[in-house]
Amino acid sequence: MAGGGLVTHRPRSVEELAECLRSQTSPVQVGNGAHAVWCRDPRTEERLELSALSGVLEVRPADQIVVVQAGTPLEELRSVLAEHGLGIPDDGGSAEATVGGRVAMNLPHERLGQTGSWRDWVIGLQAVLADGTIFRSGSKVVKSVAGFDLHRMLVGSRGTLAVLTEVTLRVRPLASIPAAAIRPLPGSASSAMTVENLHGVRPTDLEELARFAAGRGGAVDEAGSIVWYRSLPGEEGPRFSSDWVVRSGDGDRNLSDLPAGFAPLLRKLKKALDPDGRLTPGALPL
């Protein structure tokens, strides 16, 4: 097959995307592959790409929110926000990273200890299920308890439960975004990297890990809770009962440690929302 073996669908509207999912039965990789290094090779032959669902729809500085389509490059969102003196604390990862991709992956970022993650910033979204159902969750205001927080649950779902099409984010003045407490590791985009979030680790354990990390060019963030270091696939760092690990270039072992009790519930959700397992198979260890 031409084009590297992948058939790419590039719907031009949410309705077209829904129709595409509805009318096909084959598994599909959601997204443009910008984060492929973090996920196991899904071995699917079709890709559902959202670059035509791109653009900022609303910026409301007085209300501290932005509504943006999922296919929008993160860089574009940040630059539009900056024009209004606003920002979002995640710097991105790669030039191809989209807003939908960052929300779907929810990878650690350099200000995680200080500003939280995408789960804290997503206040609403629109998404499409594998059967073509288009739905919304959340709202466009920063505080709402109307209905279940499906949008917060979908953050980090890696394209396996629904296809994100539009996201509403709470944003903040650029002035309030702290300087990154840690620097990116040199060459980290291409080299294997392990990130460990160690909130809740005893101080002595943190010291041990910090020493281990320092030997590999790592650093500890200001909140004292995140250690970044570089390691090769398969190399084991000190492990604690309370950490989670996201490994790039490490295929099957990525996200293999779900928090206690999560797997059965996520399987139930997967069964309800994508019963035929069509969406980005392999991205989550379920």
Partner 1 sequence: MQEQELVRGLTDLIGAEGVRAGSSISRAYDCDAYTVDRSKPTAVVLPSSTQQVQKVIRFCLRHALPYTPRGAGTGLSGGAMPALGGVVISTKRLTRILEIDIDNRRLKAESGVVNTHITQAVAAHGLHFAPDPSSQTVSTLGGNIAENSGGPHTLKYGVTAPHILGLTYVDTEGEVVELGSVTDGFPGPDPMALIIGGEGLLGVVTEAWVRLTPVPKAVETALAAFPTIRNATQAVAGILAAGVVPAALEMMDKNILGALNAAFGLTYPEGTAALLLVECDGEPGAPAREMAEVQAICQSEQCLSFVTAQNEDERKQLWTARKKGIGAMGRLAPSIVTHDGVIPPSKLPEMLEFVYEVAAEAGVGIANLFHAGDGNLHPCFYFDDRDPKQVEAVVHAGERIIRRCVELGGSVTGEHGVGIEKQDLLQLMFSPDDLAVQMRMKEALAPGTLCNPCKVIPNQKGCVEHQRRWRGVAW
Which residues 23-62 are close enough to bind partner 1 by CB under 8 A?
60-62
Q: State which residue, 24 or 139, has the beta carbon closest to partner 1.
A: 139
Cα-trace Rg, the chain: 19
Q: Give least dist CB 172 to partner 1, A.
A: 7
Q: How far is the CB of 8 from partner 1 (least distance, A)?
A: 25
Nearer to partner 1, 51 or 238 (CB): 238
203 near partner 1, judged by CB under 8 A = yes
Q: Which of residues 167-196 bind partner 1 (CB under 8 A)?
A: 172-176
Q: Which is nearer to partner 1, 32 or 137 (CB)?
A: 137
What is the smallest separation between the CB atom of 26 and partner 1, expressed in angstroms?
Answer: 23
Q: Which of 200, 232, 233, 252 is close enough to bind partner 1 by CB under 8 A?
A: 200
Stretch that binds partner 1, among 89-97, 130-138, 211-219, 227-235 (CB under 8 A): 130-138
Q: To the nearest whole angstrom, how small is the minimum distance from the Cβ of residue 155 to partner 1?
A: 7
13 lies in the binding site for partner 1 (CB under 8 A): no
Residues 53-112 that bind partner 1 (CB under 8 A): 60-65, 85, 105-108, 112
Binding residues for partner 1 restricted to 136-155, rule: CB under 8 A: 136-137, 139-150, 152-155
Tokens at 228, concatenated? 């970044």
- CA distances 233 to 217, 246, 249, 254, Å, are 16, 11, 6, 10
Q: Does residue 276 touch partner 1 according to CB under 8 A?
A: no
- Whichever of 45 and 264 has its CB closer to partner 1, that residue is 264
Query: 74 near 90, Cβ under 8 Å?
Result: yes
Q: Which is nearer to partner 1, 88 or 161 (CB)?
A: 161
The window from 75-83, 90-98, 186-194, 240-248 that contacts partner 1 (CB under 8 A) reads 240-248
